[in-house]
Amino acid sequence: MMVIRQARIGEDEDVLAFYHDLIDRMQGQPYCPYWKKGVYPTLDVIHSAISRSQMSLATEEGRIAGAFILNRVQGEGYDRVPWRGEVAADEVGVLHLLAVHPDFQGRGLGRTLLESAVAQSRSKGDRVIRLDTLTWNLPGRRLYEGFGFQWRGDFELTYPTTGTIPFSMYELEIGDGGTHGDGFLC
């Protein structure tokens, strides 16, 4: 049975191994992430997210099937994006490192992880969730758009693993009435 839960102190190495295995397995695939071992994600990034209760895991029979970090860290360049409206920084959830292990892809787990992120953001009083993804990440873009995220344009961002390249920027409004297409009350 799949369980979505907060990562626990002491699971840092297991989470890093999950990302490393994903990097290895996705290498050479058309939609592989541009993460690099030793550069991003690092044990420090994962440890920090876990210690702040910002990392969530999907597990099945003790095996990590998916993960994400949800915090308030908007990367450099997010200020250039024409977000829909003025939202205070403490009302913005930012999704990072959303991943589903190849062995678990095609089972709706990405959507389930997004549902969890929305629930967590709502509980913290967020009004929106923002994220960036590689422009050529077609499965990710389909997932986000199918879930109700709105594309806000492609913008050049700089990350250690990619250098400066265009990323597709997405935003999901969750905080002031209506639904986002899934029947979730906002």
Q: What is the pLDDT of residue 10?
A: 97
Residue 59 confidence (pLDDT) above 80: yes
Average pLDDT over residues 147-157: 97
Q: What is the pLDDT of residue 85?
A: 77
Q: What is the pLDDT of residue 29?
A: 83
Q: What is the pLDDT of residue 184?
A: 31
Q: Which domains does the chain have, with CATH numbers?
A: 2-173 (3.40.630.30)
Q: What is the pLDDT of residue 109?
A: 97
Helix, strand, coil percentages for the chain (3-state, nearest 5)? 30, 35, 35
Counting DSSP H helices and E strands in the chain, the numbers are: 4, 7
Q: Is 46 left (phi over 0), alpha (psi -120 to 50) or beta?
A: alpha
Residue 161 confidence (pLDDT) above 90: no
Residue 175 confidence (pLDDT) above 80: no
Q: Identify which of 177, 170, 179 has the alpha carbon closest to the alpha carbon of residue 83.
A: 170
Q: Identify which of 109, 125, 23 has the alpha carbon closest to the alpha carbon of residue 68.
A: 109
Long-range own/partner contacts, residues 162-165 (CB < 8 A, 24 or more apart): 162/34, 162/134, 165/134, 165/135
Largest CA distance in the chain: 43
pLDDT band of residue 179 (cuts 50, 70, 90) is: very low
Residue type, 74: Q
Question: What confidence tens digit (pLDDT) does each residue in 4-45 have?
Answer: 999 999 999 999 999 999 999 998 888 888 899 999 999 999
pLDDT band of residue 162 (cuts 50, 70, 90) is: confident
* Residue-averaged pLDDT of the chain: 91
Residue 180 confidence (pLDDT) above 70: no
Q: What is the pLDDT of residue 25?
A: 94
Question: What confidence tens digit (pLDDT) does each residue in 81-139 have?
Answer: 999 878 999 999 999 999 999 999 999 999 999 999 999 999 999 999 999 999 999 99
Q: What is the pLDDT of residue 176?
A: 53
